[in-house]
């Protein structure tokens, strides 16, 4: 460990029996990874990476509604700066608010937000990062592209298994004060789920939703946030979707919560939880998946054989020492 400390130079600091590495630039991170590879060391409990020095916070780009932030910037700090420009990162889950930008953008579930009609979109419009093999990846900042494979996907949502994000251009949305809740009850939990999916598909964007059993019925409490006119439009749409599957309006609702850790879940996972009499709280509800509380822990979901190959190609020496 001592020789490693010397090789790493001022970027490294001895803490207890281990080392903490604080690179302040991509160049320093590239150098750190090179030293670790040479010494056949890897990041982990003994050699910890601290990205807090990657703390650059750019100006809000009001027209494009984006903001560039270093991987070490806390998400709450980004939100605060965005709020000054009457913009926001949007309705994120509680776990996302506690993350740094790097953790947010690399997380397999938190890295995406739900957009109309119930699809997912990366929160990052562009990223800069370092692959485990020491090469930089810098994706163009733009709404969409057809320029070859999406190399940013190696890092965005990648769990830090193939490389590390050093900065991201984050998508923002207007900050509006309007928030309304509506409560509907359904004869079965399947109807409640169907109404929720139909509303998403029709164009409703929930900030959150709670589904739970009550007196033999399933109750759905939906929270919508946005511009007042938009919330009004989407409330009407939500009511029609709920009624379409036999739902009944039950009032304005109250701020219900479900305890437990957040997990990315499929709609089948939600059905299973509700079918066992549980309650679920949905953040970032999309047709593809949701982030939820109240669902059972998954068994480890292997990312597939292609991922093994990618890991072998980009992190042959396991320098990142993590990921699935």
Partner 1 sequence: MLEARGALEAVVRGRLSTRELDRLATGRDLWPLTLLWLRQGKVPPPPDAVVWPGTDDEVASVVRIARERRLALIPFGAGSGVCGGTLAVHGGVMVDLKRFDTIGPVDPVRRCVDVGAGVMGETLERRLAARGWTLGHFPSSIGMSTVGGWLAARSAGQLSSRYGKIEDMVLSVRGVLGTGERFETPERPFDGPDVAQVLLGSEGTLCVFTGARLRVHPRPEARVFRAFEVPSVERGLEAIRRVFREGLRPAVVRLYDPFDTTFVGRAKPASPRKAPSKRSALEATVLPGVLKRLAIETLGRPGLVNPLTRLATRSRLIFMCEGEAKHAAAEDRAIAAACLSMGGVDLGEGPGREWYRKRYDVNARLPRLMEAGTFIDTMEVSAPWDAVFEVYERVREVAGAYALVLCHFSHAYADGCSLYFSFVGSGRTEAEIEDRYQQLWRAALGAATSAGANVSHHHGIGLLKARAYQDSLGEGRHALATLKRLFDPDGILNPGKLGL
Closer CB to partner 1, 277 or 305, in the complex: 305
Cα 310 to Cα 148: distance, rounded to the nearest angstrom: 17
Q: Work out whether 239 is an interface residue with partner 1 (CB under 8 A).
A: no
- The 3-state DSSP composition of the chain as helix, strand, coil percent (nearest 5) reads 30, 30, 40
Mark residues 143-172: x for contact with partner 1 by CB under 8 A, - for none. Answer: xxxxxxxxx-xxxxxxx-xx--------x-
Q: Among residues 39, 56, 76, 233, which is the contact residue for partner 1, using CB under 8 A?
A: 233
Which backbone phi and psi does 164 adopt, to 5 degrees?
-125, 135
Helix (H) or strand (E) holding 69: strand 66-70
* Site for partner 1, residues 1 to 60, rule: CB under 8 A: none
Report the DSSP pairing between strands 18-21 and 47-49. parallel
Q: Among residues 137, 187, 246, 256, which is the contact residue for partner 1, using CB under 8 A?
A: 137
Q: Work out whether 136 is an interface residue with partner 1 (CB under 8 A).
A: yes
Q: Among residues 9, 44, 174, 261, which is the contact residue for partner 1, using CB under 8 A?
A: 174
Q: Among residues 7, 258, 307, 317, which is the contact residue for partner 1, using CB under 8 A?
A: 307
Which SS3 state, helix, strand or coil, does residue 218 take?
strand
Mark residues 178-217: x for contact with partner 1 by CB under 8 A, - for none. Answer: ----------------x--xx--xxx-x------------
Tokens of 125: 């419009």
Closer CB to partner 1, 19 or 164, in the complex: 164
Q: Among residues 237, 253, 256, 260, which is the contact residue for partner 1, using CB under 8 A?
A: 237
**Binding residues for partner 1, total number by CB under 8 A:** 83
State the minimum distance, in angstroms, from the CB of residue 89 to partner 1. 13
Which residue stretch of 7-15, 43-51, 141-149, 249-257 sits at the interface with partner 1 (rule: CB under 8 A)? 141-149
Closer CB to partner 1, 18 or 307, in the complex: 307
Which SS3 state, helix, strand or coil, does residue 55 take?
coil
Q: Which residues contact 276 (CB under 8 A, 6 or more apart)?
A: none
Q: Among residues 63, 255, 277, 297, which is the contact residue for partner 1, using CB under 8 A?
A: 63
State the minimum distance, in angstroms, from the CB of residue 253 to partner 1. 21
State the minimum distance, in angstroms, from the CB of residue 287 to partner 1. 6
What count of residues does the chain have? 324
Q: Any long-range contacts for 91-98 (C-beta under 8 Å, 24+ apart)?
A: 91/206, 91/207, 91/208, 91/225, 91/283, 91/284, 92/283, 92/284, 93/262, 93/283, 93/284, 93/291, 94/262, 94/283, 95/262, 95/291
Alpha helices (H) along the chain: 2-8, 26-38, 75-84, 94-97, 101-106, 189-202, 228-244, 267-275, 305-314
Helix (H) or strand (E) holding 184: strand 178-186
Closer CB to partner 1, 14 or 313, in the complex: 313
State the minimum distance, in angstroms, from the CB of residue 9 to partner 1. 23
Q: Among residues 138, 250, 253, 258, which is the contact residue for partner 1, using CB under 8 A?
A: 138
* Site for partner 1, residues 273 to 302, rule: CB under 8 A: 287-289, 298, 300-302
């Amino acid at each position: 460990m001592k020789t490693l400390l010397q090789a790493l130079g001022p970027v490294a600091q001895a803490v207890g029996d281990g080392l903490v590495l604080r690179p302040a630039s991509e160049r320093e991170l590239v150098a750190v990874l090179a030293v670790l590879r040479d010494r056949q060391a890897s990041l982990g409990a003994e050699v910890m990476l601290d990205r807090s020095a990657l703390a650059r916070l750019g100006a809000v780009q009001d027209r494009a509604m984006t903001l560039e932030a270093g991987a070490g910037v806390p998400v709450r700090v980004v939100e605060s700066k965005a709020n000054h420009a009457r913009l926001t990162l949007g309705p994120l889950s509680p776990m996302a608010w506690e993350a740094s930008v790097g953790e947010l953008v690399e997380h397999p579930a938190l890295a995406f937000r739900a957009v109309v009609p119930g699809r997912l979109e990366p929160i990052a419009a562009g990223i800069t990062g370092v692959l485990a093999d020491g090469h930089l990846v810098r994706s163009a900042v733009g709404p969409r592209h057809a320029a070859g494979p999406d190399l940013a996907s190696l890092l965005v949502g990648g769990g830090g298994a193939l490389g590390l994000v050093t900065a991201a251009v984050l998508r923002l949305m207007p900050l509006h004060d309007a928030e309304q809740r509506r409560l509907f009850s359904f004869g079965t939990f399947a109807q409640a789920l169907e109404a929720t999916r139909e509303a998403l598909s029709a164009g409703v964007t929930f900030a959150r939703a709670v589904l739970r059993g009550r007196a033999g019925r399933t109750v759905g409490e939906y929270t919508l946030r946005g511009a007042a006119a938009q919330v009004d439009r989407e409330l009407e749409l939500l009511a029609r979707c709920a009624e379409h599957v036999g739902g009944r309006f039950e009032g304005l609702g109250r701020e219900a919560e479900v305890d437990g850790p957040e997990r990315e879940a499929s709609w089948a996972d939600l059905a299973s939880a509700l079918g066992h009499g549980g309650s679920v709280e949905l953040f970032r509800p999309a047709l593809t998946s949701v982030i939820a509380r109240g669902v059972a822990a998954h068994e480890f979901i292997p990312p597939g054989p292609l991922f093994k190959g990618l890991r072998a190609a980009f992190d042959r020496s396991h320098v990142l020492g993590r990921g699935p």
